Structure 1
Amino acid sequence: MTPARRILLLAAALLASPLALAHTGAQPHAHAGFLAGWLHPFTGADHLVAMVAVGAWSAIAVRRVWAAPLAFVALLACGALAGAAALAVPGIEPMIAASLLVVGLLLATVHRVPALLAAAVAGAFAFFHGAAHGVELGGGAAALAGMLLATAALHAAGIGIGRLLLARHRWLPRVSGASVALLGATLLLGLG
């Protein structure tokens, strides 16, 4: 199987997985310890796809590849601390879904974006992802550290995928971005 087909198969598998959000809102599940924090970003399609998509978008459209992922991790931490402190952050789930829609569309356009703008977009959405996670982080600093490292690893995987997509075919980033945007739109419609 060619690498391009593997990527398409992976994208199809992600889209075919249950489109459940990682956060139900009513029953937050507390995560204790580093391992629980590390595993949490992998448990919901919304977060997993968003973090990989930010990396792929950065590799394809941002000259300073790590600008958006670093901003994402930094503001994810801020949002997690806000959520853990029980600060009311309105619109968490719609903003998480919107992050998929927006980042997917940005990935699909394959248009170069200034690093500062990319960091601002990624960081703004990351705050909401972090607030959702923060409500659930019962393990304190260890769980937060695990979540942040997992997020950075997912961004790194996304950067690798983005470079592979761009190297293989011009249309692969467009199809991948459209798939991410479709997931975001589907999640937004499900919230309405």
Structure 2
Amino acid sequence: MSHLSPSLAKPAARSARSARAAALAAALAAAPVLLLVAGAALAHPGHHHHEGGFAAGLAHPLLGLDHLLAMLAVGLWSLRQSRALGLGAPLLAAGGMLLGASLAWGGMALPGVEFGIAMSVLLAGVLIAALVKVPTALGAGIIVLFMLFHGHAHGSEMPHAASMLAYLAGFTLATLAITFAGRLLGGVLMARENRLLRGLGVAIAAAGALFALG
């Protein structure tokens, strides 16, 4: 039975780990697309889930490019932060969304919601491109503030006939999935070359600038 020499075994092991990581990242990066397909299926006239609002809540973050990019950016950026902030980023994003939606449902208007959404995408892209690392408390506040505007928009645009709890569950699930996908994608990029992560940050920032000007 033949054995690989230690010098050949190590690169082979690294290559196998890299392939597994890439496959896992690709699977999680596809999660938002799968959620969108699930939302479309639930929205079929024969299903009652749409009437309850779950499908509408699930699809809303996925159908808006500004929302999608912001959540992906939060996941990407969180990788270079403290362990606590990195692990808590998806929950912080969901919490900011829920807070913003609660304000909308409570009748509290936020000034410049659309501009705030655009700026959250732009600034998140800048943070990624510059590889900015901040204290945990400050980073948590940044994520919640960014997602506050997105959550307010989600709350304001809830269909009239939708169940509030079902709609909330839908967009919370989508938020968690997209943010986790961003973390996995960022992990793969960082394992290869920081310039790829920086370039993605620049692209996200440019998209945010276009949203702000639009």
Which TM class, normalised by the smaller chain length?
0.7 to 0.9
Q: Please tell me the root mean square deviation across aligned C-alpha atoms, in Å.
A: 2.1
The letter of the residue matching 2:170 is G
Letter of the aligned partner of 2:64 in structure 1? Answer: G
1:39-91 CA deviation, whole Å, 9 max, x = no partner? 11100100001101100111134432123332221121011111123321111
Q: Following superposition, which runs of at least 4 residues in structure 1 exceed 4 angstroms of deviation?
A: none
1:123 paired residue number: 144
Normalization by structure 2: what TM-score?
Answer: 0.72
Of 172, 175, 198, the match for 1:148: 172
1:60 to 48, 70, 80: 80
Q: Which amino acid aligns with 1:47?
A: H
Percent identity of equivalent pairs: 41
Kindly state the Cα deviation for residue 32 of structure 1 after the two structures are TM-superposed.
Answer: 4.6
Amino acid at match of 1:142: A
Query: SS in structure 2 opposite 1:86?
Result: coil
- Evaluate the alpha carbon distance shift between residue 31 and residue 161 of structure 1 in structure 2; reply closer, same or farther with a 3 A threshold: farther
- 1:98 paired with 2:122, answer no
Among 117, 120, 128, the alignment partner of 1:107 is 128
Amino acid of the structure 2 residue aligned with 1:39 = A
Q: Which runs of 5+ in 1 are unaligned?
A: 11-29
Q: Give 2:57's aligned amino acid.
A: G
Structure possessing the higher radius of gyration over alpha carbons: 2
CA distance in 1, matches of 2:82, 2:157: 32
2:10 maps to what in 1?
A: none
Matched, 1:49 2:69: yes
Q: Deviations over 1:2-25 (max 9, x none)?
A: 96xxx9xx9xxxxxxxxxxxxxxx
Deviation at 1:109, TM superposition (A): 1.2
C-alpha contact 2:81 2:136 (8 A) present in aligned 1: no
